[in-house]
Amino acid sequence: MTLPASHPLLDGRKGDSALVSAYTGTRGSTAPVWFMRQAGRSLPEYRELRVGTRMLDACLDPSMASEITLQPIRRHGVDAGIFFSDIVIPLRLAGVDVEIVPGRGPVLAEPVRTAADVVALPDPAGADFSAIEQGVALTVGELGSTPLIGFAGAPFTLAAYLVEGGPSKDHIRARTLMHADPGAWAGLLSWAAEVTGRFLRAQIVAGASAGQLFDSWVGSLSKADYVSRVAPFSAEALEHVRDLPVPLVHFGVGSGEVLKPMHEIGVDTVGVDWRLPLDVASERLGGGVPVQGNIDPALLAAPWPVLEAHVLDVLRRGLSAPAHVVNLGHGVPPETDPGVLTRIVELVHGTPLDSLRAEP
């Protein structure tokens, strides 16, 4: 199957957008910009809408998920929406008992810690993504020429939640299983790759113009473990969308040592967190890969002159890559003043890249 003829990339609505062009290596006169977690707790309209609704229930309500996705586009004027969901949604839809606990994060009723637990996982093919497809279609219908990004959690991050049973600082149980029972680990990662790959495909076929694979916990891995025991399964997840002509992005937190193998799983653009300057990241990637990032979220609360200088530095360093999509080096903190994000968008859109090249 390929994309339907009505898909935004095929019917002329999004194909020439600044975001899609940058993801495929074409730089415009200014850089496109959006923010991870741009929809959510930093927006008062989001908090008002979410009153009385649990997180995963909001994600699975097509009209609510669509409205939440659209809120930051209306407010900030960003160059893309990212569909409002959660990386554990495909687990829930496949039949795993998972809930988002306020103040803690995803919590599973029954962690997966043995080979028998892996075998007992539900069949990913039974996941019903119709609510996701409806939410994406509603959103794309309202976006006009602004593209929508679909996203999914990378298999390692999903596996880490499954094994740990919830958030963890070091993911030691997951890393122990990786080495103690390689067969069970491979089975678990293959299961996660299938369910998250199906989730990403559902979003793209329904109208998303790009896809991002998000590896929250990759920074807990050694390079050797990532290359041999994780990267092949991230590539396996993306096999579910290989036949679809959309740009793909891979982002991981703490991923400075594995940027190159993250690109080598077969993506167009690599996201970079705040720890590594973009010019250094571009050099590690070989100089020919579009990059995304990497404003430090901590600076969103700094005085404007400090933040402004930082954003301009990020733009300048982004010139080392073939193209650059401005973003944060992670997600928007919930206490962020929304006006600051709007001001960043205005700064990025108002800064011709040629003016940065001309500076000494």
Spell out the domains of the chain, with CATH numbers in brackets: 18-357 (3.20.20.210)
Residue 7 marked in a binding site: no
Residue 292 marked in a binding site: no
Residue 234 marked in a binding site: no
Summarised one tens digit per residue, pLDDT across range 282-313 is 999 999 999 999 999 999 999 999 999 999 99
Beta 210-215 vs 148-153: how paired, if at all? parallel
> Buried b / exposed e across 177-203, counting CB within 10 Å, b at 16+?
bbeebeebbebbbbbbbbbbbbbbbbb
Q: Are 140 and 206 in contact (CB under 8 A)?
A: yes
How far is C-alpha 354 from the chain's CA centre? Answer: 29
Which of the four pLDDT bands, split at 50, 70 and 90, describes residue 359?
A: low
Catalytic residues: 37, 41, 50, 86, 161
Average pLDDT, the chain: 96
pTM comes to 0.96
Residue 37 marked in a binding site: yes
- Mean pLDDT value of segment 170-175: 94
pLDDT, position 84: 97
Summarised one tens digit per residue, pLDDT across range 33-53 is 999 999 999 999 999 999 999
Residue 97 marked in a binding site: no
Which of the four pLDDT bands, split at 50, 70 and 90, describes residue 1?
A: low
